Chains A and B, each alone.
Chain A
Amino acid sequence: MAQEILQFSNQDRVMAGALTLPDRGDSGVGFVLCRPFGAEAIRSHAMFRALATRLARAGCATLVFDYHGTGESPGDAATQDLAHWQRDIVAADAFLRYRTGVARTHWFGLGLGATLAARAALAAPAAARPAHLVLWDPVENGSDYVALMFARHRREMERWFRSRWDVIRRDGLEDEPSLPGVVLGFEVGSGLAADFGRLQTLQLQSLIDAGIRVTIGRDRAATAALPSSPLLRVRTIEQKINWMTNHAPEGEEYEGSAIVPQDAVAAAQESLHVVELAA
């Protein structure tokens, strides 16, 4: 197994990534791994590295990358939006095919990365679409997501300063989070803030109608309302992990950073098996 640290660009959008290549047993499938947003992307870094390694062992060339304006990629976070990052995913897919010669790709996304992968797959030209999407804990409602980030932001500051939010505010240590602005340490520009406001559904049925196989990982309570289709596989999330903050809400979730959720890895690996059966 070999790993190349690289940069690729689509027009003026330069992105940093890591390409992991299998030693042997080429599965004929390439994987594009789509990171979540903000603090979640930072804290799930180790998980993505482990996932790339596992998939390479399964014979897949795997590209994990930072959207332009995030992580190690050049660019300014404040000018990004969902459409830009969707195009980054399509560009990453094109780069993976171009660089490795794979003709078939699967995309794995976590959190907002899953949402972006789903939207990018629908927006991409037919030849550029992935054969299989693995969507793990996708963000489906942008307003709920923003509300969750605000709540976690306040709680995290309370934990760090060992004080109540109203006291922190009174002492001028931190402002009330708002968008556009900075939440959980990351800047959300006006474009992305507006996108969050408009984000309402995942359009699973449209993906199925487009002939894209989908594996979705969701909380048990959220699996009932999903459409029924042989192209759709549903997994319940057994390990609910907090990727947003240092301190997990007590008793609710595991802390992220050093955790590799086995159910998510298994879902990605199983997508290869589905292809083999279909082939």
Chain B
Amino acid sequence: MSSNSLPDVERTLVFGSERNLVGTLTMPSGEPGQRAPRTAVLLTNVGIMPRCGPYRVNVDLARRFARIGVPTLRFDMSGLGDSGRSSGAKDVAQQWILDTRAAMDAVQAQLGIRRFIMIGVCSGADIAYLTAPDEPRLSGIVMFDPYLYPTRRSAVIGLVRRVRGLGLTATAKLMAGRVQRAVRRVVAKGEAEGEQPESTMRYGASAPPLSEFAAKLGATVKRGGRVMLLYSGSYPYHHNYEAQTADNLRPYGLADKVEYAMIQAADHVLMGLAGRRQFLARCVETVERWTAAPTPQTADTPTFVPSRLGAVAEWAVTAARTQLPAAANGAMAPARHAA
């Protein structure tokens, strides 16, 4: 997929109180009519993939945002990509929340921007979701394939799909095995499962209970943050209809307070072209809309308190660009450069 070429300005940055974090800042392309940016986008790792994202999707996103006048910092969390590990002893999620705040500090120090939208895919969605409730600078989060919470309807749709795909006999065997394992689990625990819908695994990561997920989303919404949940078509047995998100969140009064969509053609890591195009378009449309309209205010919206800037003094660009001396036919003459 063509990302178009420059004039996007892409610079590598090193930041954070330990100067262990690495990111790439993509600046607006400066096309006529672009206003000074007031919001920046944050992008980060997907699983353990580096900050360019699967299939370089974060690069593509950043360049598209540059063309609508929105700067982007895509960064590696501690220990991933080019970022070094933190010397702290926090658990991974807590550390990555701190890293996300440090990324905001870095952009704020560089550009004076103090409103951010974070777009997270898979594990990146988890960090956006965990950071947002208590971070007033995060005016919106877009989560792609966050946690999955089946409903009765999704279970029926999933069962029909299994029967179509595997046949009746194979599906019956599969289901019998699952029931058997579930019974064994209940007997072993000596207690019945709770009333909450059981959370499912999402590519190896266990999910929090739906009540906890909804509580954090609710806290973000309550302070005026926007939330978009996007789901791929990679979970045909667990998340398989667009209104499933609303069905999940309705008991918590959030069904009409968050935005959601299902991109059926997209796979979980956005490898397929058709789905990726839809994902990119949806992200650009969302960022354009959210940056154009004022953030909805609530009575509980706190005023921004610039008190989280302890790391700013440590931030510095060390990634100087070196232009090598003239080369013949595009190839360097190393002898000239040897010490």
Q: Does A147 contact B (CB under 8 A)?
A: no
Q: Tell me the smallest distance from the CB of A89 to a CB of chain B, in Å.
A: 10
Stretch in B5-13, B29-37, B104-112, B129-137 with 4+ CB within 8 Å of A:
B5-13
Q: Does A219 contact B (CB under 8 A)?
A: no
Task: Give Cα A123 to B328, complex, Å.
Answer: 13
Q: Does A90 contact B (CB under 8 A)?
A: yes
Q: Tell me the smallest distance from the CB of A230 to a CB of chain B, in Å.
A: 26
Total interface residues on B, CB under 8 Å, equals 61
Q: Tell me the smallest distance from the CB of B4 to a CB of chain A, in Å.
A: 7
Task: Give Cα A258 to B48, complex, Å.
Answer: 8
Known contacts A16-B24, A42-B49, A162-B236; is-contact A7 B12 (Cβ 8 Å):
yes
Q: Are A91 and B271 in contact (CB under 8 A)?
A: no
Q: Are A185 and B52 in contact (CB under 8 A)?
A: no
Q: Does A260 contact B (CB under 8 A)?
A: no
Q: Does A254 contact B (CB under 8 A)?
A: no
Q: Are B332 and A10 in contact (CB under 8 A)?
A: yes
Task: Give Cα A87 to B328, complex, Å.
Answer: 11
The B interface, classified by DSSP as helix, strand, loop or mixed, is loop
A95 to chain B: which residues have CB within 8 Å?
322, 324, 332, 337
Q: Tell me the smallest distance from the CB of A265 to a CB of chain B, in Å.
A: 18
Q: Does B41 contact A (CB under 8 A)?
A: no
Q: Are A11 and B330 in contact (CB under 8 A)?
A: yes
B333 to chain A: which residues have CB within 8 Å?
94, 125, 127-128
Q: Does B302 contact A (CB under 8 A)?
A: no
Stretch in B93-101, B168-176, B250-258, B273-281 with 4+ CB within 8 Å of A:
B273-281
Task: Give Cα A185 to B121, complex, Å.
Answer: 16
Task: Give Cα A1 to B48, complex, Å.
Answer: 23
Total interface residues on A, CB under 8 Å, equals 65
Known contacts A16-B24, A76-B2, A185-B270; is-contact A98 B52 (Cβ 8 Å):
no
Task: Give Cα A10 to B324, complex, Å.
Answer: 6
Q: Are A45 and B327 in contact (CB under 8 A)?
A: no
How would residues 295 to 339 of chain B score, 1 for a CB under 8 Å from any chain A CB and 0 otherwise? 000000000000000000000001111111001001111110111
Q: Does A58 contact B (CB under 8 A)?
A: no
Task: Give Cα A1 to B55, complex, Å.
Answer: 31
Q: Are A5 and B318 in contact (CB under 8 A)?
A: yes
B322 to chain A: which residues have CB within 8 Å?
6-9, 95, 99
Q: Does B146 contact A (CB under 8 A)?
A: no
Contact of A93 among B6, B232, B334 (CB under 8 A): B334
The chain B residue sitting closest to A185, CB to CB, is B55
Q: Does B265 contact A (CB under 8 A)?
A: yes
Q: Are A87 and B330 in contact (CB under 8 A)?
A: yes
Q: Are A76 and B334 in contact (CB under 8 A)?
A: no
Q: Are A160 and B332 in contact (CB under 8 A)?
A: no
Task: Give Cα A75 to B5, complex, Å.
Answer: 6
Q: Are B50 and A161 in contact (CB under 8 A)?
A: no
Task: Give Cα A244 to B55, complex, Å.
Answer: 11
How would residues 235 to 246 of chain A score, 1 for a CB under 8 Å from any chain B CB and 0 otherwise? 000000000001
Known contacts A5-B82, A125-B333, A174-B265; is-contact A185 B324 (Cβ 8 Å):
no
B324 to chain A: which residues have CB within 8 Å?
8-10, 91, 94-95, 98
B56 to chain A: which residues have CB within 8 Å?
42, 70-71, 77, 186
Q: Tell me the smallest distance from the CB of A23 to a CB of chain B, in Å.
A: 15
Task: Give Cα A101 to B81, complex, Å.
Answer: 27
A103 to chain B: which residues have CB within 8 Å?
338-339
Q: Does A124 contact B (CB under 8 A)?
A: yes
Task: Give Cα A8 to B319, complex, Å.
Answer: 9
Task: Give Cα A49 to B48, complex, Å.
Answer: 13
Q: Are B267 and A91 in contact (CB under 8 A)?
A: no
Q: Does B84 contact A (CB under 8 A)?
A: yes
Residues facing B in A123-157 (CB within 8 A) are: 123-125, 127-128, 153, 156-157
18 contacts between A and B (CB under 8 A): A5-B22, A7-B12, A16-B12, A42-B49, A49-B82, A72-B10, A72-B24, A76-B2, A91-B327, A94-B333, A99-B322, A128-B333, A156-B271, A162-B234, A174-B265, A174-B275, A184-B271, A257-B47
Show the binding face of B for A, using Cβ within 8 Å.
1-6, 8, 10-12, 14, 22, 24, 47-52, 54-56, 59, 81-82, 84, 165, 232-234, 236-237, 264-265, 267-276, 318-324, 327, 330-335, 337-339
Beyond contacts A16-B12, A42-B54, A95-B337: 8 other A-B pairs, Cβ-Cβ < 8 A, are A5-B319, A9-B323, A11-B327, A87-B330, A91-B324, A123-B331, A161-B233, A257-B49
The 4 nearest A-B residue pairs measured at CB: A101-B339, A94-B332, A185-B55, A98-B337
